[in-house]
């Protein structure tokens, strides 16, 4: 089974099935298609499937032209999990959020595996890319596959290979980002290396699925902890009257032993605010308390409230309250130059300000209409960034520093700017650093 599968993967006669056509699955589909594989995309969102089959994209940095080209090469999207029976490789790229108690929610992964299971057959490889705690692949996927009478490592080959997408980053694309891969058995790993080795420049093997799962968590916990540190340093520096961004720029001139991280209004994206808590939850099963990780999470989660405090103070100095003030939020995506709204701290700021009675508007060229979100509801559209819009607002909150914004225009016409991203280097009467 393994020899035949690897041969099909290497000569590109294998059919690749990707489950989850989002920010991870869609670029991966394009890469497999680009090098000559036939690809099937499976997603439960009928709207996404319809758009893909029309050759359209719903992610800003992925062009409709690239989707149409993949379609011309044979790509098809479907909501039918039965299509999995036609695939030689199945790659799972579905969300792994936290529940309301900040515990892992594996429902998307488990529901996906259970939907795929009736259509699995000998000679397939299954890869999980969704970030999760160590042991998920072995404890959740392996038993569900073997319940169908298939032996992992003999009939079906199971690997974990965490996604490493950085949307809209021109310096790193799917092909050039090294890919970690761990197999449930040595034969599984060999099949996994054959799967990804055809489309990724460098595949990094590790000894087990657990090691691969932990690798992804370490990457994101490293960032979360260091962002938590610099956010705490920001608060201290602010109290001392020091510009933390000036300090970071100076520290970054050290050519060794220092990596610059930058403060902001909170953590955003699907990974960094969420992934650390997958490990804290799993560690409790081993009687361990992850104090360092949880402290960083506490600091990062407090940032929107801290920014709102700075807004309240700045308005108070001008004889105003948050209640009744017109707030214009600049940038509501979770990071600059993307349309990705997942876990955006800007939205948390909007929620808090709205609850305090502010009149909220936003401007974001990447998000023309506030999208439907599970936890946040705003019936808003992006407003044009004009001198009139800026002058009309009591407070402009610079939450996400998109390159498309004219920061000179903002500074010239806004009465009050709350700069959460360190855009304005020089002091100005209408700029408050937060």
Alpha-carbon gap, residue 397 to 322, rounded angstroms: 12
Integer CA distances (angstroms), 323 to 79, 356, 381, in order: 46, 6, 21
Q: Is 216 left (phi over 0), alpha (psi -120 to 50) or beta?
A: alpha
CB-CB contact of 282 with 221 (8 Å):
no
* DSSP H or E stretch at residue 360: strand 359-363
Selection from 147, 141, 389, 133 nearest residue 282 by Cα: 133
Contacts of 44 (CB under 8 A, 6+ apart): 79
Return the number of other C-beta atoms located less than 10 Å from residue 219's C-beta: 17
Instruction: Provide the token pair at 429.
Output: 């009467």
Q: How far is CA 394 from the centre of its chain?
A: 32
Selection from 87, 186, 190, 182 nearest residue 141 by Cα: 182
Return the number of other C-beta atoms located less than 10 Å from residue 395's C-beta: 24
The reply to whether 181 belongs to the active site is no
Alpha-carbon gap, residue 329 to 342, rounded angstroms: 17
Phi, psi of 379 (to 5 degrees): -90, 75
CB-CB contact of 332 with 346 (8 Å):
yes
Candidates 93, 181, 271, 395; catalytic one? 271
Three-class SS state of 59: coil
Integer CA distances (angstroms), 409 to 227, 360, 388, in order: 30, 20, 11
Instruction: Provide the token pair at 105.
Output: 């929610």
Instruction: Provide the token pair at 397.
Output: 């909150």
The b-or-e profile of 147-158 (16+ CB within 10 A means b, else e) is eeebebbebbbb
Tell me which residues are annotated as active site. 271
């Amino acid at each position: 089974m393994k020899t035949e599968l690897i041969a099909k993967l290497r000569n590109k006669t294998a059919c690749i099935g990707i489950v989850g056509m989002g920010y991870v699955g869609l670029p991966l589909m394009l890469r497999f298609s680009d090098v000559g594989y036939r690809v099937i995309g499976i997603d439960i969102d009928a709207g996404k499937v319809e758009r893909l089959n029309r050759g359209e994209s719903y992610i800003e940095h992925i062009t409709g032209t690239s989707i149409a080209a993949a379609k011309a090469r044979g790509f098809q999207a479907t909501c039918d999990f039965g299509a999995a029976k036609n695939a030689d490789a199945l790659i799972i790229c579905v969300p792994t959020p936290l529940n309301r108690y900040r515990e892992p929610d594996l429902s998307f992964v488990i529901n996906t595996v259970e939907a795929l299971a009736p259509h699995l057959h000998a000679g397939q490889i299954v890869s999980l890319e969704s970030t999760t705690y160590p042991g998920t692949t072995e404890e959740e996927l392996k038993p569900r596959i073997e319940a169908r009478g298939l032996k992992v490592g003999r009939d079906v080959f199971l690997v974990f290979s965490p996604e490493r997408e950085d949307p809209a980053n021109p310096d790193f694309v799917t092909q050039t980002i090294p890919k970690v891969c761990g197999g449930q058995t040595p034969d599984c790993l060999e099949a996994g290396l054959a799967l990804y080795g055809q489309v990724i420049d460098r595949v990094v093997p590790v000894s087990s699925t657990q090691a691969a799962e932990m690798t992804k968590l370490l990457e994101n916990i490293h960032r979360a902890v260091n962002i938590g540190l610099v956010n705490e340093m920001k608060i201290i520096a602010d109290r001392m009257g020091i510009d933390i961004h000036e300090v970071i720029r100076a520290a970054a001139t050290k050519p060794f032993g220092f990596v610059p991280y930058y403060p902001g209004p909170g953590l955003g994206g699907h990974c960094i605010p969420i992934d650390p808590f997958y490990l804290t939850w799993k560690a409790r099963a081993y009687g361990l308390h992850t104090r360092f990780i949880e402290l960083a999470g506490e600091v990062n989660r407090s940032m929107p409230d801290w920014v709102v405090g700075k807004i309240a103070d700045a308005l108070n100095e001008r004889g105003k309250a948050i209640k009744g003030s017109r707030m214009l939020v600049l940038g509501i995506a979770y990071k600059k130059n993307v349309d990705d709204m997942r876990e955006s701290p800007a939205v948390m700021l909007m929620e808090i300000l709205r609850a305090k009675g502010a009149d909220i508007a936003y401007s974001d060229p990447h998000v023309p209409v506030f999208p439907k979100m599970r936890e946040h509801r705003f019936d808003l559209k992006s407003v044009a960034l004009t001198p009139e819009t800026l002058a009309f607002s009591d407070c402009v909150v610079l939450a996400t520093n998109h390159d498309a914004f004219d920061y000179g225009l903002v500074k010239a016409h806004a009465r009050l700017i709350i700069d959460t991203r360190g855009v304005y280097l020089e002091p100005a009467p209408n700029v408050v650093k937060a």
